[in-house]
Structure 1
Amino acid sequence: MIDQRTLTRECLAQALNAHPNALIARTFTSLQHWKTIGKPQQGTLRAVLLNVTNGSSEEIDAEVRAAVAEFEPVAVVVLSQDQDLRAILHIIGMGVCGYIPTSVDIGVCIQALYLAIAGGRFVPASSLLSMREFLELSSVRNIAGDGSFTARQTAVAEALRCGKANKLIARELQLCESTVKVHIRNIMKKLGATNRTEVAFKIGGNVCFSQAYA
């Protein structure tokens, strides 16, 4: 484990070592510290946990790239307090085998390390949900962006994607229900859809079938 901060480094190492499914953790303050002290005494190295909480984005990028290059083919897993989806995808794209938020418990941390050791790649569930929401919203915005939908039709399409009934759409958008129906017919025509479920499917959403449609 590589972490500049003494307290967090030693506390996490003790927690990892004390866990029932423990991996034996050795700690270093930096990659250079590892090269000087750890590398000459290297035994069986199974994974590297790199804490990148401190530093600018450029410094973090350089640190991650250096670690991946130094330890290849050993799995490098990043530990960070940043849960921004773009930051996570960026780090994963540099070749690491996992991204662990500091908000998870020690059990999740250990399972993420075992997954990386086995050849998998760990991404926090919260980030996957954010990615799904981003892709779903992007699909609606892409349709609107190509000029085929008006702004109002885009809003109605987004409501359909969420499985909302006509009455609810009308109330939220402050429209008459008959106007909502007209927008839905136009949306269906533009998408070549035969029903609202097909509309939701084509724009990448999930329909809640418990909704009562008017």
Structure 2
Amino acid sequence: MTEPDATAIGVLVVDDDPLVRAGLVMMLGGGTDIRVVGEAGDGAEVLDLVDRLGPDVVLMDIRMPTTDGLSATEALRAREHAPEVIVLTTFDADEHVLRALRAGAAGFLLKDTPPAEIVAAVRQVAEGRPVLSPSVTRRLIDRVADPEPDRRRARALEQLGTLNEREHAVAVAVGHGKSNAEIGATLYLSVPTVKTHVSNILTKLGLNNRVQIALLAHDADLLTPARDHRPR
């Protein structure tokens, strides 16, 4: 097997099922630009392994015996310079993926995702681009009951109200799952300008990634096409 390049994307695989871990390690080990730096069978091991191994991306299972993947993701992403996290889920069984996304996970993958797509997802989040299908994400978000929708909407609107008009429009477009190129075409902006707006939004709102921008736009109920999205 070809030795991975020293600049390869380092991945930590976290899953309590040894067979799942072995499968992930095998599928990620086929190229030279990705290397598995370590494995863990429980979320309780994650922080120490991240400190010792310095991965770029963590593939995180949700259901684990001692510390679940949601708690581990929250603890990890609360740190500075944390690696990106991709949550592994069976979807129908796990209704708490939204919590991981709010904590700063870069996205989620179903455990039966084709190997090539998992490899591509690791490369994508390592570049700072989240892994989310807008249609699947919308279904996931909509199925999570919110006990206080009005309060959450008010908080989200207050946060988004700190953005200027162009940033607000970009945030809503991110919520619709548009790429930078698509946002640029819609708002007549260059891709570098869109990237600048996204960066400014993240900084102003104290968010980790585009996923959290999208969730905020959803919480504010700004993703209905016919709605006037600007706060008055």
How does the TM-score come out when normalised to structure 1? 0.50
How does the TM-score come out when normalised to structure 2? 0.46
Structure with max Cα Rg: 1
Higher helix share: 1
Higher strand share: 2
